[in-house]
Amino acid sequence: MRLRLLSFDPDILRLPGKSYLDSLPNTDGEKDKTADSETGQQPINYFVGCFANHLQPEIAEKTALLVSRIGKGEPVVPKDQTCCGMAALAAGKNDEARALAKKNIEAYEENDLPILTSCSSCYFQLMTYEELFADDPEWHQRARLFSARLVEFSSFFNKNLADGLKFISTKESATEQKVFYHDPCHLRFQLKIIREPRKLLQLFKGVKLQELSGGPQCCGQGGLFQVAHPELALQVRDRLLEDFSSLAVDKVVTGCSGCLLQWQIGLAAKHKKIQAEHLAVFIARLLQ
């Protein structure tokens, strides 16, 4: 995986010199649990995920910015958080996945605030922590409490941007943008979160959503699938890009880290004038 990342064109993936978590000031990770005195809103935790932490920290930066813009102040970001464990579990390393899950559960037990995620794959994996500890009563209960606090990105901001427009100002003269939203498989199938990200994007003037005639498709990334079966993953990706080429699109957006990277690589190879961005980055650009 490291060699594959290093082989990417620098214009597609510029590795940052410091991770997002390492760039944060050293604090104890705790924050007042009461409502913010100015907005009356409760603060929120943020689970960053490996991609936004190590590869594209702009996602984490813009997520934190959006949280503050809706009146919740700076999100609480425990520095002890780690990988969600999806890759380990997919590789059959159950003990490693459970160890990572324990570290994350412990990291967020410092408070009882909701836990926002910016990666749909991380969100899916974090939601399955109960299953990892089905045979361990103590950790099963702790995992259940942890999972109950999770908040998916598009659902959270769809509600809070719609309800909290008094805290933000959008650009009055928005240029029309034809936007294609890519449905991550982890949201589309198991969790059925399909309408929320589209409703979120439609909150903004000038955004015109474009859809594939045959409906959403897999991008071929599939976590470790594209590492173990790169040729098949490439076929799935190119089939999607072929159907995508029939659309008039200015920007591709998604909420999954793996899907985002797959789109960025694919667009660089097939549609160089079109860029793919995370929802957080795209939305932040629409705000003053």
pLDDT reported for residue 226 = 77
pLDDT reported for residue 288 = 61
pLDDT over 70, % of the chain? 85
Query: In the predicted model, what is the mean pLDDT of residues 229-242?
Result: 91
In the numeric block, which tokens belong to residue 163?
């309800």
Domains of the chain in sequence order: 2-155 (1.20.1050), 169-286 (3.40.50)
Residue 8 has pLDDT above 80, yes or no: no
Q: What are phi and psi of 151, to 5 degrees?
A: -130, 125
User: pTM for the complete prediction?
Assistant: 0.90
pLDDT reported for residue 11 = 60
pLDDT reported for residue 155 = 95
Query: In the predicted model, what is the mean pLDDT of residues 158-172?
Result: 64
Q: Could you tell me the pLDDT band of residue 166, with boundaries at 50, 70 and 90?
A: very low
Residue 234 has pLDDT above 50, yes or no: yes
- Region of 40 please: left (phi>0), alpha (psi -120 to 50) or beta: left
The mean of the pLDDT values for the chain is 88
Strand order in the sheet with 251-254: 207-210, 177-181, 251-254, 275-278
pLDDT reported for residue 37 = 45
